[in-house]
A and B are shown apart, each in its own frame.
Chain A
């Protein structure tokens, strides 16, 4: 029985190693009668059986214990055998794509080599502290074992590494799976490699950006982020114990390749360096952002530090207006426009000042800048006081503080009259 409702579009990423290229999606129509109990793995197997025997994917145990069938399912990493069709939003096509950050061998099959290389870098193996014949007696509710919890259940499927946006941008970042294993061993009191492992993990654990992508996709509900945070805390509390690394014996041994390897099975010569153009672009971009930020910060700090020392120097007399402009007994706000030359820098300044004329020859000039935060102060004829609009500062007509947060009265500016023109000394 085939109906519109049960017909789903399945888009599968295809890459043929003999042809090369970028790869593309192929679309298949599949009748899925019972999406609640049909896994993505079933979908793949059915398409392979019924429509296209050439598609390749990887699976082994089909009960989410081996971690072979990790792939990106509708934009999210997961195990094909653990994701049911009904877990995906109903309206969406089923879109299957290989894991990120691993070379693609064919279609959905990726080379997990880089994963295990990084995994091994984290010294992911138990090294007994001393020869012990009997298993350790550790209580079930031992706090360290409680910390470890189910984190040892990692099945190395690579979903976390694929979901992480950091692994590919930091050469030395071991990634969530490796650090999770490092964590389970660091918290294991039976293990002897605490210091070297912590030193090793330290080099990469601060690359985590607390994004939780790994935690969200983990099919075993392990939180890579939690493990990494645990290592970060350990690193802080054990800072003194960390020493420069000696190579672990396992690394000093020369790798033992079997003899006579004319052309060793290695189908993936290229691709390990992971996308040089993108990498270099990211590096350049990161560099530029870094430089811009430093210049910005330096500029701000520099101005803040230097400005006060320069501020006192370039005083000048600026004409404020003719005597006619100021009625006796009145208070006026006028805008001063002048050029301030400070060091090598000159700038056009528009600064308002307040001018009070008490008699023909008696003036009082205030800076209109509020001593609190520098807001503009204006004369309010109704309440007969200077008011600052920002934070409710108020000054009497002599510029003394009446109310609000200003720490002192309005600054008075020196003035003089020359040839019927009133001049004010400003900075």
Chain B
């Protein structure tokens, strides 16, 4: 029999969004029974920890929320949910301050003792708060300690595999968890469920997030029937390290390097960004820089290692070593000299702009369901600015914590809804099948197939034909993936975990490919070689999708609502 827990609030994930939600929900009502389930060790999983650059926030009196808001809309090519983006920039300020005053983070200071803010690409003001070039460690270490302090129980190495629903299929009643150490399934029923597992588009050959990420939350939400949006928008970070044959390949060199003035060169030694974005060159937004690099690469002007070169040496070796010690060290480990030489980089899959549709209090489209962080979509539109990612996680984690505490204040909301009978058991049985299967493909091969197909056909630059063929292969693959065979015991079976990952990856890939087919233009992170222009007369919509009857996504294009800023204001905005 599967063990069962009943709690008030179940938080899936333990990154910045999940931890801040736990902290704020607890502070609002310490009597809440909160349970955190994380795929990794306490506070060690997730991408928040891997944040290098920093946190965009308005602190300076000569900066304004207005400017940050406009930068975010401009960066997102106007299709952001303006409510969400406005909440992001407005709430970022108190969030950062509370990270310092409540959680005890300590960000780098200026000489006068105020928080230092550095330059990031695509911004009209230097507003990125940071701690050296490894900001995520500071934020996550400190917030994890605050979770310890509040004695919020954490299930370690226990990943969520499916959301549980009531009989009507419209209310989330909890989640089915899988404990990796023992190979047991656990049922947790909760009065409110927060999905904050983070995304991590690891379904590409070249990916920036750690390989343990697999867009679990996004796939779970989709399978549970939540409304998703903008799933075609997958950001590629332009500067992922090229390391042949290593799992570290794709790890990032932070954007601050470009912000500080590093140059990019193609194989011929030309600063190609000058042709793609004459005004800002390397300080263009990530979508532009990645696309340009990719176009250079397929035009045959790649460097010998297969990508392009980033050069920070002209900034002075001392400057680089002082300001980017973590990056220099990361390069040095693989025999690259960041301070004195050029380092080969390539676009690397990095972030889902899309995700579950939420409102600014993190309510998703199903009852008792909250979503925060990368699992949610709409904040960033078609492209995310560097430094807005950890900002989203923290701000919406905080929003979620506050609004969940409010939600659970009513007695009616705090009751547990009954899960549809036998639902968890059937899920567990289906998921455990590969362990007893006698034949089937290896999950490692499945993962490689998904990654290759995505990289080649749903990658940085896409076209109708490739997308269609990818979608066809995905539908075929999803059969194979579900029928994989895993040998070995249940205890800490890494291959079985890869199998669970691939189940999520394939769903996310299908969403991305089908969504990408809906947008016949180039906008932000979505580049179509058959429609190379951004079409503002056509493309100002968001693709909403949810799981239909035949397991394939159902679409609805909805016009962007220019609630706070009109299209003209956005178009005319210059940095």
- Find out whether A and B make contact in their complex, taking CB atoms under 8 A apart as touching: yes
Secondary structure class of chain B's binding surface, majority of residues: loop
Which residues of B in the span 130-166 have a Cβ within 8 Å of any Cβ on A? Answer: 132, 134, 136-138, 141-142, 145-146, 148-153, 155-156, 158
Q: How far is the CB of A177 from chain B (nearest CB, A)?
A: 11
The 0/1 profile, CB within 8 Å of B marked 1, for residues 56-82 of chain A is 111111111111100000000000011
Is B534 located at the chain interface by the 8 A CB criterion? no
Within 8 A of A (CB), among B149-190: 149-153, 155-156, 158, 179, 181-182, 184, 186, 188
CA distance A258 to B3 in the complex (A): 12
Let me know if A81 and B495 touch, CB within 8 A: no
| A126-B210 in contact (CB<8A) | no
Q: Select B44's contact among A34, A107, A134, A156, beta carbons within 8 Å.
A: A156
For residue A17, CB closer than 8 A to chain B, the reply is yes
- Asked whether any CB of chain B lies closer than 8 Å to the CB of A381, the reply is no
Contact of B7 among A140, A148, A259 (CB under 8 A): A259
CB pair B444–A265 under 8 Å, yes or no, is: no
B184 in complex: contacting residue of A153, A250, A265, CB < 8 Å: A265
User: Among the listed stretches B95-103, B359-367, B403-411, B470-478, which one makes contact with chain A, having 4 or more residues with CB under 8 Å of it?
Assistant: B95-103
- Report whether A68 and B145 are in contact in the complex, using a CB–CB cutoff of 8 Å: no
A311 at interface, CB cutoff 8 A = no
Q: Which residues 455-506 in B have Cβ within 8 Å of A in the complex?
A: 487-489, 491-495
Given contacts A106-B492, A267-B182, whether A153 and B111 have CB atoms under 8 Å apart is no
A137 to B112, CA, bound (A): 8
Indicate with 1 or 0, residue by residue over A79-110, a CB within 8 angstroms of chain B CB atoms: 00110100000000000000000000111010
The answer to whether A66 touches B106 (Cβ under 8 A) is no
Shortest Cβ distance from A48 into B: residue: B494
B488-A155 in contact (CB<8A): no
Q: How large is the interface on B (under 10, 10 to 19, 20 to 34, 35 or more residues)?
A: 35 or more
Contact between chains at A255 and B212 (CB < 8 Å): no
Question: How far is it, in angstroms, between the C-alpha of A371 and the C-alpha of B293 when the chains are bound?
Answer: 92
A contact face: mostly helix, strand, loop, or mixed: loop
A126 in complex: contacting residue of B111, B142, B491, CB < 8 Å: B142
**Interface size, A (range):** 35 or more
From the candidates B246, B444, B491, name the one contacting A42 in the complex (CB within 8 A): B246
Is B73 an interface residue when CB atoms closer than 8 A count as contact?
no
Chain B residues with Cβ under 8 A from A54's Cβ? Answer: 487-489, 493
> What is the CA–CA distance of A53 and B443 in the complex, to the nearest angstrom?
11
Expressed in whole angstroms, the Cα–Cα distance for A185 and B146 within the complex equals 13
Given A60-B40, A125-B104, A261-B3, A106:B491 Cβ within 8 A = yes
Instruction: Kindly provide the distance from the CB of B355 to the nearest chain A CB, expressed in whole angstroms.
Output: 21
Q: Which residues of chain B come closer than 8 Å to A260, judged between CB atoms?
A: 4-6
Instruction: List chain B residues, Cβ under 8 A from A62.
Output: 210-211, 247-248, 251
Residues in A whose Cβ lies below 8 Å from that of B4? 260, 262
- Report which of A39, A112, A139, A152 forms a contact with B113, defined as CB distance below 8 A: A139
Closest 3 CB pairs between A and B? A126-B104, A137-B113, A258-B5
Interface residues of A (CB under 8 A from B): 16-18, 33-34, 36-39, 41-42, 45, 48-49, 53-68, 81-82, 84, 105-107, 109, 112, 116, 119-120, 124-128, 131-142, 145, 148, 150, 152-156, 181, 185, 188, 190-191, 250, 253, 255-265, 267
